[in-house]
Amino acid sequence: MLNLPLVRARIVEQRGVWMEELAELRQVDPFQALVSEILPLLDAMRWLEKRGAQVLRPQAPSWRDAPAWMLGHKLVIHRRPHGKVLVVGPGNYPLFLPGVQALQAVVAGNTVMIKPQRGAEAPMRRLVRLLHDCGLPGASLELLESDTQAVYASLEAGADLVVLTGSLETGQKLLPVCAQKPVPTIAELSGHDLVVLGPDADVAVALGALNWSRQLNHGNTCMCPKRVWSALPLGQEVDVPVTRYQDFTQLTEWLGQERHGLGISLFGGPNWVDQVLPHCRSGFVTVNDIIAPTADPRAPFGGRGLSGFGVTRGAEGLLAMTYPQAVFTNRGPRFHLWPPSGRELALMQAYTDWSHGRGWRRIKAGMAMGWAWGRLVLRLARRPGGVKPIWSETSEWRSVCVSGFDGRI
């Protein structure tokens, strides 16, 4: 059994090796390697330790929300693993992104195959080895070759879910293949992210955040802003295209036409932000900040439109590694199995009027239902032996229920 606290402790103990390897691979300083890959991965592990079982436990919806004619049924919704999950990792964050996705899939009960980006295999190889050393069975997690053919071979072998992080071009090649199988897919296809400055924005803060984001990982981040829309003159050189919008109406029109939907960064006062937020059609929004808050392990991460679909991370991302299975248990009468009496339509019409009608129609329906239930009790009383528990599975009851059944559906 996988021991996640031990995994975290081992990474901390070997932190220098992990940082050095990631810094050399990504050509960044050790600080960036630590805060953008190792620390977010550790935080995600701890969240899984604390909340994973709670998120995945069976849920029993309240009986108060059930239709009255189904009160004899018990409903429990279970989360079942998809089976074999293929994780296609990126090259820009080769440890954090596929690492969290793989761990969520494993915790949800799946077996996982990871295809790393060519040239970025080392961090994931190190993580897989550590997970096996800390109790994860070898069959539960496999590191594939970094060749693209490994993806297609896994699909042919029967992958049940694909989790892809990559470019739009990569998605356009892989998604049609998944659709032909068909295999459900979670796809994060990068963004063409946007920064929006309101009329009361702190320009210095916005420009500082924008410049920082362009330097993070040399700008090789899926959430790195590519455009700025501003209500204010910025007054200095900005290394991304800047467009002035005239008023709030024009801004909301532009936001409604957005085709990319990974992230939007808003800079402005709280009132302006509250007005703009409902028009932001993106997977996440940062307010008076850029990129950094998205490392929060509680938050789902994913895009929409040309930026993909589905989410990873957080409770929603963990649930996405499963499918819901509704289990119904009948604990009451099975009227639908009775031989027809010719009165079923009238009874269900009365029930429909009582349950969903109003006024005098509902009153009349209630009286009709009372009369129908009275006739039902009378029918039971006239049976040999009087009124018996109608939910009991006696041989006599079974014979009545299946009389005339010829085995065809």
Question: Looking at residue 398, what is its pLDDT?
Answer: 40
Higher pLDDT: 334 or 358? It is: 358
Cα(first)–Cα(last) distance of the chain, in Å? 45
pLDDT at residue number 383: 61
Binning pLDDT at 50, 70 and 90, where does residue 409 land? very low
pLDDT for 352-398, tens place per residue? 998 899 998 989 988 888 887 777 667 667 666 554 444 444 444 34
pLDDT of residue 234: 86
Q: How far apart are CA 283 and CA 294, in angstroms?
A: 11
**Mean pLDDT on 202-220:** 93
Each residue of 5-40: pLDDT tens digit? 999 999 999 999 999 999 999 999 999 999 999 999
Gap between the Cα atoms of 263 and 224, Å rounded: 9
Would you say 36 and 47 are in contact if contact means Cβ atoms under 8 Å apart? no
The reported pLDDT for the residue numbered 405 is 30
- 300-323: per-residue pLDDT in tens? 999 999 999 999 999 999 999 999
- DSSP for 131-185, please give it: HHHTT--GGGEEEPPSSTHHHHHHHHHT-SEEEEES-HHHHHHHHHHHHHTT--E
**Six-digit token pair at 80?**
């079942």
Contact yes or no for 141/114 (Cβ under 8 A): yes
Query: Which residues is 263 bridged to in the sheet?
Result: 284
Q: How far out from the chain centre does Cα 89 lie?
A: 18
Question: What predicted TM-score, i.e. pTM, was given to this entire model?
Answer: 0.87
pLDDT, residue 384, reads 62
> In the chain, what percentage of residues exceed pLDDT 90?
75
The domains of the chain are located at 4-189+311-327, 194-302, 338-402
- What is the overall mean pLDDT for the chain? 89
Angle at 96 between CA 6 and CA 293, to 5 degrees: 110
The CATH classification of domain 194-302, taken from the options 3.40.50.280, 3.10.129.10, 3.40.309.10, 3.40.50.300: 3.40.309.10
Q: What is the mean pLDDT of residues 159-187?
A: 94
Contact present, 85 and 321 (Cβ < 8 Å): yes
pLDDT at 395: 42
Which CATH architecture group holds 4-189+311-327? 3-Layer(aba) Sandwich (3.40)
Q: Which residues contact 356 (CB under 8 A, 6 or more apart)?
A: none
Q: How far apart are CA 302 and CA 229, in angstroms?
A: 22
Q: What is the pLDDT of residue 86?
A: 97
User: Radius of gyration over alpha carbons of the chain, in Å?
Assistant: 29
- Residue 118, number of CB atoms within 10 A of its CB: 11
CA distances from 122 to 102, 115, 117, 177, 191 (A): 16, 12, 10, 28, 26
What pLDDT shows up at residue 237? Answer: 75
Q: What is the pLDDT of residues 67-84, one digit of tens each?
A: 887 878 899 999 999 999
Extract the runs of DSSP E, i.e. beta strands, from 5-136. Answer: 73-81, 84-88, 111-115
pLDDT number for residue 235? 73
